[in-house]
Amino acid sequence: MARSAIRELDPQNDVQMIRIKSLRHELIAIIDLQFTLLVAQQYPGFVPVDVEKPPEEVKPEGNEDF
């Protein structure tokens, strides 16, 4: 699907990298003529939340208007 969309823009182009992020994970696929690299990792911005207690409200420091 991504490959056909890219080729519609310019027939000489091809997909080289695909990056997909969800709330918890990040998937990266790099495609080359001789190899394909797939990376699956926990998204660095993800902080597990305890579902038993509500998250604490975080206010920016130095600005009391929030």
CATH for 31: 3.30.450.30
Count the domains in the chain: 1
Query: Model-level pTM?
Result: 0.47
Question: Would 38 be classed as within a structural domain?
Answer: yes
Tell which residue, 62, 66, 64, 20, has the closest CA to residue 43.
20
**pLDDT 10s digits, 7-64:** 666 666 677 888 888 878 889 998 888 989 999 988 666 666 665 665 566 666 665 6
Full residue range of the structural domain in which residue 25 is found: 2-42
> What was the pLDDT predicted at 52?
64
CA distance 21 to 19: 7
